[in-house]
Amino acid sequence: MAVENKETTLSRAQIVAKHREFLLPSIGSHYQDPLPFVSGKGFRLTDSEGREYLDFFGGIVTVSVGHCDEEITERTIAQMRKLQHTSTLFPIEAQAKLAERLASLTPGRLKKSFFTNSGSEADEKAIQLAQAHTGRRTIVALRHCYSGGTPGVQTVTAHSPWRIGEPNAFPVAHAKNAYCYRCPFGKTPSSCSLECAKDLEEVIQTTTSGEIAAFIAEPIQGVGGFITPPADYFKEAVAIARKYGGLFIADEVQTGFGRTGGKWFGIEQYGVEPDLMTGAKGMANGLPIGWVITNDEVATALNGKVHLNTFGGNPISSTAALATLDAMESRDLPGNAKRVGGYFRLRLEELAEKHALIGDVRGMGLMQALELVKDRKTKEPAKQELQRVVEAARENGLVIGKGGLHGNVIRMTPPMTISLAEVDEAIGALDAAFTQVK
Ligand SMILES: Cc1ncc(COP(=O)(O)O)c(C=O)c1O
């Protein structure tokens, strides 16, 4: 039965006016002139005037397999027709299958899952598990990290534009991060002795009781602007955290599910096995789901308490996640992220040779960033210029993301289904945008 879609009948001006009137004014707009999209297919989005855009942001790293993928959509609709919701009080077939699948994909002894609706809730739960398991409260995190919008993870977040008020849910100590382009220790790659990883030890010794519950970190800092630590960073940092009794939580909300190329999870690029791992964003291709997984020992930490998330891992989101993982596996999207991401990186480096505004190119796989600076020597952040590049890219039919503490980092995370042709198209649009802004 064909059903009329009653949701797409407003004009662009009407959508924007309603948004302005009825949503919190603190919700930012990506563009000066807000742009509502009304449909999407694969790596293309369409606005309410019928104009198409190549999507190189993927709904903030969520649309891993492309917009409205046939297979994922059909399987999700079939589940909607069969059973939509019961709550986590009752075993859910799709959720149990998903948990089994995730236990097989994640590294080492990670096995027991808990599902939520968002990355914030997943990180909150991981921290709660680590605190209950160790009997301690102090968390060590990294400067420039983003962990979410709820009070606990706001306390962890170390990025002032995204920290609201003065969150203070539990003690958090922030170590310096591996921001090689702006090394907090003034080192260069050739003179580096992983001073940033070693900073964890001094932070633990001087700002905590000397015993911690956990060290939480993103393998690549997402909101921070795709800050990518050197190869040995996590081996060193995690060993220090464990020396002081802390568990290691890998926050894979942005880096998980093939995004970094060739591996399922970002932390695998660093050869470290976490005690807990969280995910969300790209795992159900845009449907809301969040998740924490841990090993058998930590999994018992909350025993004796009732442990509910009403919608977490509901039949629909879990089915969408299973279908997303099937699509990723059958189309080898982690492999594609490595191949196409490698080519994308080369093309971005060529772009950096041409445009002085680009100070740094970084990332892994199909998670690539450009940090823009007014001057390559002083590295003064080029925030206004970035907004102009983002607006010009829009005019050229390309959607890209923004990030970084100073708002001067272009973040690009296209659906992992893209090919070299879309990379060339995006580079053409970016090249033109940088030339316009010069
Ligand atoms: C690394 C990381 N962790 C956690 C979160 C919070 O996820 P959510 O917005 O789904 O609550 C985000 C969101 O951007 C994130 O990037």
| Candidate from 116, 120, 249, 277 with most ligand 1 atoms within 8 A of CB, to mutate | 120
Pairing of strands 401-403, 409-412: antiparallel
- Dist. CA 253 → ligand 1 center (Å): 6
Q: Which residue has the tokens 């919008």?
A: 149
Q: What's residue 254's pLDDT?
A: 98
- Dist. CA 46 → ligand 1 center (Å): 26
How far is 319 from 75, CA to CA, in rounded Å? 7
Please tell me the residue having the least CA distance from ligand 1 atom 8: 119
Backbone phi and psi for residue 228, each to the nearest 5 degrees, phi listed first: -110, 110
Q: Which residues form the pocket of ligand 1, taking CB atoms under 6 Å from any ligand atom?
A: 118-120, 123, 146-149, 218, 222-223, 251, 253-254, 280
pLDDT digits (tens, 9 = 90+) for 291-312: 999 999 999 999 888 778 999 9
How far is 354 from 351, CA to CA, in rounded Å? 5
* Chain mean position to CA 420: 23
Instruction: Report yes or no: 378 and 388 within 8 Å, Cβ to Cβ.
Output: no
Type of residue at 308: L
Q: What's residue 187's pLDDT?
A: 96
Which of 285, 239, 238 is closest to 258 using CA atoms?
Answer: 285
How far is 212 from 405, CA to CA, in rounded Å? 27
Which of 319, 323, 330 is closest to 71 using CA atoms?
Answer: 323
- Residue 113 Cα distances to 291, 312, 313, 436, angstroms: 7, 11, 10, 49
Task: Give, in degrees to the nearest 5, the angle at Cα 364 between 55 and 398.
Answer: 15
Helix (H, G, I), strand (E, B) or coil at 229: coil
pLDDT digits (tens, 9 = 90+) for 78-102: 999 999 999 888 999 999 999 999 9
Q: What's residue 48's pLDDT?
A: 87
Residues in the chain with pLDDT < 70?
1-8
- In terms of pTM, does the model score above 0.85? yes
Q: What's residue 1's pLDDT?
A: 59
Which of 66, 84, 82, 72 is closest to 323 using CA atoms?
Answer: 72
- Dist. CA 34 → ligand 1 center (Å): 23
| Candidate from 121, 254, 260, 278 with most ligand 1 atoms within 8 A of CB, to mutate | 254
What structural domains and CATH numbers belong to the chain?
Answer: 12-61+332-437 (3.90.1150.10), 72-330 (3.40.640.10)
| Candidate from 116, 123, 221 with most ligand 1 atoms within 8 A of CB, to mutate | 123
Q: What's residue 72's pLDDT?
A: 98
Biggest CA-to-CA distance, the chain: 67
Q: What's residue 308's pLDDT?
A: 87
- Dist. CA 272 → ligand 1 center (Å): 21
Taking CB atoms within 8 Å and a gap of at least 24, the contacts of 70-79 are: 71/323, 71/326, 71/327, 72/285, 72/320, 72/323, 72/324, 72/327, 75/319, 75/320, 75/322, 75/323, 76/287, 76/316, 76/319, 76/320, 76/323, 78/319, 79/315, 79/316, 79/319, 79/320
Q: How many CA atoms lie within 13 A of 51 on its CB side?
A: 12
- Dist. CA 123 → ligand 1 center (Å): 8
Please tell me the residue having the least CA distance from ligand 1 atom 3: 147
